[in-house]
Amino acid sequence: MEKITGPIAAIAVALIVTLGALLGTGALIPKADTYATVSFDGGYKKLGVISEERVFTRAEVTLNGRRVKSGDFNDIVEWMTEQAAETGGLEKSSWKAGVGITARAGVEWIGSESRFQMTTDNLTLLSTAEKSLQNNEVIAALRSLEKKAKDGRKKNSEEALEFGPAPTESFLMTKILSALSK
């Protein structure tokens, strides 16, 4: 057996100490990919670390093209209920010709860098002289749109979001660790 000389021993000790320090600080342990980017319509937006994910709803009621009321679905239903109370209740009241509603529902993410709303479903209804919209029909359509968005939230999120390392992490170290983990 050969003896380890001074320079080789110094290199070996330096490597052992360096590896120990890197392992001890967690620098060599791959971090979970928590930095989110959302892809949509051929584009993308960096969200950062997502702190909240939820279903959103928005609707707008118009009369001959002028906005009468806007808000989330609960605001619109509450407003419709108040309006219908003056005319005999939800079951008996209908919308006059020219009153319409546009609504959308989808997934909203709030991230450390930005927030983003991805619309997954839309609805447009218009009351005409030939076909008057009933309040119950409108409410049922809004609730159905909201339920569809809630039921598809997880699938839509999985398809739209891509997770990776944060841009502030070392590019070289991230690429090496990513290659080694695969």
pLDDT tens for 35-61 read 888 988 878 899 999 999 999 999 999
Is 166 domain-assigned?
A: no
pLDDT at 75: 96
Q: Which amino acid appears at position 12 of this protein?
A: A
Domain count along the chain: 2
Is 111 domain-assigned?
A: yes
Percentage with pLDDT > 70 across the chain: 85
Tell me the pLDDT of the chain averaged across its residues.
85
pLDDT at 76: 95
Is 69 domain-assigned?
A: yes
Which of the pair, 32 or 75, is modelled with greater confidence? 75
pLDDT at 70 over 80: yes
pLDDT tier at 10 (50, 70, 90 boundaries)? confident
pLDDT at 181 over 70: no
- Work out whether strand 35-40 and strand 161-164 pair parallel, antiparallel, or are unpaired: antiparallel
Element (H, E) at 88: none
Same domain, 143 and 69: yes
Same domain, 23 and 100: no
Residue 16, domain extent: 1-30
14 to 7, 11, 20, 53, 172: CA distances (angstroms):
11, 5, 10, 46, 22
pTM exceeds 0.75 for this model: no
pLDDT at 173: 57
Same domain, 69 and 153: yes
pLDDT digits (tens, 9 = 90+) for 93-112: 788 899 999 999 999 999 99
Please give the structure tokens belonging to residue 171.
Answer: 């590019």
Helices 73-85 and 135-160, interaxial angle, to 10°? Answer: 180
Q: 32 φ, ψ to 5°?
A: -65, 140
pLDDT at 169 over 70: no
Same domain, 143 and 61: yes
Which of the pair, 103 or 12, is modelled with greater confidence? 103
pLDDT at 27: 61
pLDDT at 43: 85
| Inter-residue contact 96 to 132 (CB < 8 Å) | yes
